[in-house]
Amino acid sequence: MLWLGAAVVVTEAAIPPTLVLLNVLTERAVDPAVRTRAFTWNNSASAAGSALAAFLAGHTADALGASAAFALAPAAALALLALTATLPSG
């Protein structure tokens, strides 16, 4: 139980800075006339990503066990790292 609590704290601690960075980058990159729409798309994409992650974790836990479901988080982090390394920095 202690390790699970620590894992939740560490992973949840990454969310606020990510959301702040997303909002700062959106504010810099988007024309003020459509900024509200851009923030709305950001929020919708974030909610969709959370829902997809919950679905995948639940399905993986049911099919392969809890350990496999916990492995999804570092796999997703590596996928995001690879994506950011390959995309132009604009």
> What is the rounded distance in angstroms from the CA atom of residue 65 to the CA atom of residue 82?
26
CA dist., res. 18 & res. 26, Å (int): 12
Report percent pLDDT > 90 for the chain. 44
| pLDDT for the residue numbered 90 | 59
DSSP for residue 31: -
- Tens digit of pLDDT for each residue in 12-47? 888 888 889 999 999 999 999 999 999 999 999 999
- How far is 77 from 84, CA to CA, in rounded Å? 11
In angstroms, how far is the first alpha carbon of the chain from the final one?
Answer: 43
Q: What ranges do the domains of the chain cover?
A: 2-86
